[in-house]
Structure 1
Amino acid sequence: MSKQLSLPVLLKDQLSFDNFIAGENQQLIDHLISVAKAEGNIPNYPWLTYLFAETGIGKSHLLFATCFLAEQHQQSCVYLSFRDKPQLAVEMLEGLEAYALICLDDIEYIEHDLPWQIALFDLINRVKEQGHSRLILCSRFPLQSLPLQLPDLLSRLSWGVSFRVTVINDLERCQALILRAEQRGLVMPLEVARYLLNHLQRDLPGLIKSLDKLDELSLQQQRKLTIPFVKSTLNL
């Protein structure tokens, strides 16, 4: 089966491990890198990984990064978000066990949807039985609080290893913003990054989204990223 990546196509910068500020998440990143590079049936290898954290911490970034790295190592991979469930058919989960890496995001969105929960349960069983795929699932909730109604599915999810994605501190948020600006060809001084952190919503996706407008207007006006330019551009 050929690779299938359902990743954001409008991203200006690739979501990779290189532009993810690890903070206290280095053990998790090392694990995901090994998952992305793993090949075939490895005895006692953790084939199921469960990630959780509140919104805006970087769970999806880590899934995209794992997919990109797997693709670089010629591993077939697929990403699906259950946020898109209204536009998806439950049969989408059939046959995913043919992929080397399966990343399923936002699984809390199948709450109160028994057909999807049963389909995920069956997929996990097939992945376990066939023994050549790795499965990564993400949610806002730790396993013990996951709002799913199928007890057998919750039991299956506990078969794997579980990681909490830890929030980075303010300096690390600034470093992430500077790095993502640099990848767009922008030079962002630390004081500008701190200004954005103090005057915009503090979640990293929201901060990075502000780079779109700054990127466009700085190019048009040939302006450097200074605090006065940022204030006028973003109406702060």
Structure 2
Amino acid sequence: MKPQPPASGGAPSATEPASPPSVTAQLPLSLRPPPDQRLETFVAAPEGVLDQLCALAHGTHADWLYLAGPAASGKTHLLLGVCAAAREAGRRAAYLPLAAAAGRLREALDAMEGHDLLALDGVESIIGRRDDEVALFDAHNRARASGTALVYAARQAPDALAPGLPDLHSRLSQCTRIVLEPLDDDGRREVLRTRALRRGWTLEDAALDWLLRRVGRDLAGLTALLDRLDQASLAAQRRVTVPFLRQVLGAVAP
């Protein structure tokens, strides 16, 4: 849902402080997922998970889902992917990073009323904030009553999060739980190789090994590098080889 621009009315007076910008004007409620982050591009998903998410996106899966896993395990990828799948099926879907709405979560969730699917990322970021926990609990109940599908993601399972609101813990625990693990090096190679192919070029094994050894294993950072390499390769009209990587990334790689 795109936020509406504020009505014109002149600048606030010197004695009347300007109202803070609405949280809905700052959050990607209807963020268009990047093309790399689709259900079909997810590597090494636990058995049956993609089918569950696809069914939820199309409205044929009754159970809500809770994705639990550490950083770099692919939670955000799957949330953005299920939103993309829902929109392709003609349904209204919105993704919300809860950390960006912490302290004003009720306003953000109210702005998402009327969607067919909500993907709520980073539940751990609002735990311990009483008002936000109550807002999430209320939104959960409204979604259940209206038939809106919910997909949660957090670094920990509900029991480990231990929200201060017992009823919220109960609601989160009722969701079907999916546990994700970070990719190993083979999985990282497959992700990078596939995303390079989507950009129209091949990332060979020697170049992949060099990137993992010299640049690091953080998948988000490695994926971001692909755009830089794509532009540099096009500009130089060269293949992405180890010598080319040394030339382009020498300043960031030891």
Interval of TM-score (by shorter of Structure 1 and Structure 2) = 0.7 to 0.9
Residue by residue, what CA displacement relative to the aligned partner does 1:56-98 show, whole Å, maximum 9, x if unpaired? 1211010111011110110111110012125955322126352
**Correspondence for 1:193 among 183, 201, 208:** 208
Which segment drifts farther, 87-96 or 98-107? 87-96
Equivalent residues of 2:70, 2:181 under 8 A apart? no
User: CA shift at 1:164, angstroms?
Assistant: 0.7
Listed as ranges, the matches of 1:23-62 within 5 Å are 23-38=44-59, 45-46=62-63, 48-62=64-78
1:232 is matched with 247
Equivalent residues of 1:77, 1:100 under 8 A apart? yes
Mark the runs of 5 or more structure 2 residues left unpaired by the alignment. 3-27
1:18 is matched with 40
Residue by residue, what CA displacement relative to the aligned partner does 1:194-223 show, whole Å, maximum 9, x if unpaired? 221222221211211111221121111111
Residue by residue, what CA displacement relative to the aligned partner does 1:19-58 show, whole Å, maximum 9, x if unpaired? 211x25232111111111115xx7xx21x21101111121
Listed as ranges, the matches of 1:68-147 within 5 Å are 68-85=84-101, 90-94=106-110, 96-130=112-146, 132-147=147-162
How far apart in 2 are the matches of 1:185 and 1:75? 31
Residue by residue, what CA displacement relative to the aligned partner does 1:84-130 show, whole Å, maximum 9, x if unpaired? 12595532212635211111001111122111110000011112223
The TM-score with structure 1 as length reference comes to 0.87
Distance 1:61 1:78, change over 3 A: same
The TM-score with structure 2 as length reference comes to 0.81
How far apart in 1 are the matches of 2:94 and 2:218? 27
How far apart in 1 are the matches of 2:175 and 2:113? 16
How far apart in 2 are the matches of 1:231 and 1:56? 26
How far apart in 2 are the matches of 1:87 and 1:233? 42
2:16 is matched with none
Equivalent residues of 1:82, 1:109 under 8 A apart? yes
How far apart in 1 are the matches of 2:30 and 2:83? 10
How far apart in 2 are the matches of 1:214 and 1:87? 39
Larger relative contact order, structure 1 or 2 (CA cutoff 8 Å, min sep 6): 1
Distance 1:153 1:53, change over 3 A: same
SS where residue 96 of structure 1 aligns? coil
Equivalent residues of 2:106, 2:135 under 8 A apart? yes
SS where residue 78 of structure 1 aligns? strand
Aligned residues: 226
Distance 1:147 1:7, change over 3 A: farther
Q: In percent, how many aligned pairs have the same letter? A: 31
Distance 1:7 1:26, change over 3 A: farther
How far apart in 1 are the matches of 2:209 and 2:39? 23
SS where residue 26 of structure 1 aligns? coil
Mark the runs of 5 or more structure 1 residues left unpaired by the alignment. none
Residue by residue, what CA displacement relative to the aligned partner does 1:136-160 show, whole Å, maximum 9, x if unpaired? 0101112211152211111111111
2:31 is matched with 7
1:153 is matched with 168
Distance 1:5 1:115, change over 3 A: closer
Amino acid at match of 2:46: N
